[in-house]
Amino acid sequence: MGRLVIVSNRAPSVDGAGDSGGLVVALKDALSQQGGLWIGGAPKQSENPADELNFHQRPDFEIALFELEPELYRDYYLGYSNSVLWPALHGRVDLIDVQPHYSAAYRKVARRLARQIARIVTHDGMIWVHDYQLIPLAHELRKLGVTSRIGFFLHIPLPDLQTFKAIPEWQELAGCLADYDLLGLQTQRDLGHLINIFRHTLRGELRPNGNMGINGREVVLGCFPISIDVRGFRQLAVDGAARTAPPSVPRLIGVDRLDYSKGLPQRLLGYETFLSQNPEFCNKVGLLQIAPPTRDDVDAYKAIRSDLEHLAGRINGRFGTIEWTPVQYIHRALPRDDLAVLYRYSRVGLVTPLFDGMNLVAKEYVAAQDEADPGVLILSQFAGAAEEMSDALIINPHDPQDVADAIRTALQMPLAERRQRHGALYSHLEKHDVAHWSAAFLKRLLAIEKADAEWLERFARLEPVSRTG
């Protein structure tokens, strides 16, 4: 069997620092077993980018970095990826910023990267492309005659057809998705949307095996809910708790990138409603919100920070006392072992996105709990994680009353019920950890024989492109 090649917008660090993040942990084993290669964007842009991948050998696998000019990177990443695709795929069509040069840059990056990858992959290799920044990659690779199996995993949600159509290039994108051999989504919800998009855009036909017949070939579809290193994260929390004292009042915790999809203002409104309706809890509970900045250069992100600070200030002004601050807000990232112990010592985990592919914080919170005295997870019905985690308290994040009621229920929940809910959530997660996720995807990709020769020929006839052009 050939080499496994992972492609993502960002590569792991060349020296292994920061590997504790989910995806690297998930794929490290599979990559090291097969002499794998991870291709990703260089951490810095360059005025004169090399037209070749830049290789670095780590002890576990090889990394190849691609460089982009700052302007191209801006239009491809901050522009098309995060000002068009991210809002559209999260159902925030009101935030889409359509600029013709954004989509041109997006396609250009895929074309350039495909040329660089086509020079190094072999027919028997497997290519696994990650996420919305690189949807057209298989299309560009096929045009160059690459015959390897190519799979794609979308980490973020796929919305319904009407919302998807708000992307000016929606038909083109649907066509590009259909050029993969395997398409993996986080949830059944998203899978249903994909099937509908294919039916309407490409006259796709759902086959009895769950795959899609499109233009005479079969595209394999699957739902692969991503997870975390459950046991590893639990151990971090256990070790951390041995070094740290618990907080003096029961704590609610929220941990999110500062993103409009995460429902942070809605969460604070729910907490405010809870405090106003349950004054007996004032002084006896606190909310810790950790929200590091992200994509600060995109306009839609600038407002969230001030909204959040305004709300936190209002709640603290309204309910706070000399001794008690109802909302503690930290605007930066924390080391994973600190996060793990903060989760463990929090009586309630608040995960309230308005739309989320999966949401790993929900899984981290459950993994970190003490099974003898676990906290309660409050989870939005719009997080992908809600499909698997029905033993959480499932809420509608748009309804402050629903959030407030769930907070009260969680804080008053008897130990026996907390243990029962946590036990069910943890045992599911233990079986469905991140290793299970990557193995399931790769097994499906491996089972695909090879790209259909006739189909590839059609591609070549369509657009003859030189490998070095």
Active site residues: 155, 356
Question: Residue 416: CA atoms inside 13 Å, Cβ hemisphere, count?
Answer: 0
Q: Residue 202 and residue 241: Cα distance in Å, rounded?
A: 54
**CA distances from residue 193 to 157, 189, 201 in whole angstroms, order as listed:** 9, 7, 12
Minimum gap (Å) between residue 304 Cβ and ligand ADQ: 14
Strand partners, 129: 7, 152
255 binds ligand ADQ (CB under 6 A): yes
The residue (of 62 and 160) whose beta carbon lies closer to ligand ADQ is: 160
Binding of residue 356 to ligand ADQ (CB under 6 A)? yes
CA distance 256 to 83: 19
The answer to whether residue 334 forms part of the interface with ligand ADQ (CB under 6 A) is yes
Using left for φ > 0, alpha for ψ between -120 and 50, and beta otherwise, residue 61 falls in: beta
Write the CA distances from 111 to 8, 54, 170, integer angstroms: 14, 17, 18
SS3 at position 164: helix
Q: Which position among 78, 360, 425, 445 is part of the footprint of ligand ADQ (CB under 6 A)?
A: 360
Our finding on whether 95 is near ligand ADQ (CB under 6 A) is no
The region of 27-35, 201-209, 350-358, 411-419 touching ligand ADQ under the rule CB under 6 A is 350-358
Nearer to ligand ADQ, 3 or 363 (CB): 363
Total residues contacting ligand ADQ (rule CB under 6 A)?
19
Residue 282 · residue 379 · CB < 8 Å: no
Binders of ligand ADQ in range 361-390 (CB under 6 A): 361, 364
Question: Is residue 89 a contact point for ligand ADQ (CB under 6 A)?
Answer: no
Interface pattern 137-166 for ligand ADQ (x via CB under 6 A): ------------------xx----------
User: Rounded to 5 degrees, what are φ and ψ at 206?
Assistant: -75, 125
Residue type, 409: T
Residue 64 corresponds to which tokens in the numbers above? 């190849």
Site string for ligand ADQ, 170-209 (x = CB under 6 A): ----------------------------------------
The maximal CA–CA distance of the chain, rounded, in angstroms, is 75
Q: Distance between CA atoms of 41 and 44, rounded to whole angstroms?
A: 8
12 versus 357: smaller Cβ distance to ligand ADQ: 357
Strand 54-57 relative to strand 62-66: parallel, antiparallel, unpaired? antiparallel
Is 201 or 261 the residue whose CB approaches ligand ADQ more closely?
A: 261
Q: Which is nearer to ligand ADQ, 148 or 266 (CB)?
A: 266
Residue 254 binds to ligand ADQ (criterion: CB under 6 A): no
**Nearer CB in complex with ligand ADQ: 259/405:** 259
Binding mask 283-322 for ligand ADQ (x = CB under 6 A): -------x-x------------------------------
Backbone angles phi, psi at 151, to 5 degrees: -110, 155
Cα separation, 86 vs 106, whole angstroms = 13
| Structure tokens that stand for 250 in this block | 């029961």
CB 36 within 8 A of CB 438: no
The secondary structure of residue 12, as a DSSP letter, is P
340 close to 236: Cβ distance less than 8 angstroms:
yes
Could you say which of 58, 74, 189, 257 contacts ligand ADQ (CB under 6 A)? 257
In the complex, minimum distance from the CB of residue 240 to ligand ADQ, in angstroms, rounded to a whole number? 14
Nearest to 157 by CA among 317, 357, 22, 306: 357
Among 27, 150, 339, 435, binds ligand ADQ (CB under 6 A): 339
Query: Which lies closer to ligand ADQ via its Cβ, residue 204 or residue 263?
Result: 263
Instruction: Give the one residue of 104, 161, 166, 333 binding ligand ADQ; rule: CB under 6 A.
Output: 333
Token look-up 């070939």 returns 217
Q: Looking at beta carbons only, is 114 or 154 nearer to ligand ADQ?
A: 154
Q: Which residues, at least 6 apart from 405, have a Cβ–Cβ distance to it below 8 Å?
A: none
DSSP 29-59: HHHHHTT-EEEEE-SS--SS--SS-EEEE-S
Bridge-partner residues for 255, per DSSP? Answer: 290
CB of 399 to ligand ADQ, least distance (A): 21
Q: Considering only the stretches 31-39, 332-340, 419-427, 442-450, report the one whose residues sit in contact with ligand ADQ under the rule CB under 6 A.
A: 332-340
Q: Which two tokens stand for residue 299?
A: 């306009």
Q: Is 22 in the site for ligand ADQ (CB under 6 A)?
A: yes
Q: Which of 226, 236, 327, 445 binds ligand ADQ (CB under 6 A)?
A: 226
Q: Which is closer to ligand ADQ, CB of 35 or CB of 292?
A: 292
Q: What is the closest distance, in whole angstroms, from the C-beta atom of residue 263 to ligand ADQ in the complex?
A: 12
359 touches ligand ADQ (CB under 6 A): yes
Binding mask 403-442 for ligand ADQ (x = CB under 6 A): ----------------------------------------
Through-space distance between the first and last CA atoms of the chain, rounded to whole angstroms = 29
Give me the least distance between CB of 229 and ligand ADQ, in Å please: 10
Under the criterion CB under 6 A, does residue 25 sit at the interface with ligand ADQ? no
Catalog residues that contact ligand ADQ under the rule CB under 6 A. 22, 155-156, 226, 255-257, 290, 292, 333-334, 339, 356-361, 364
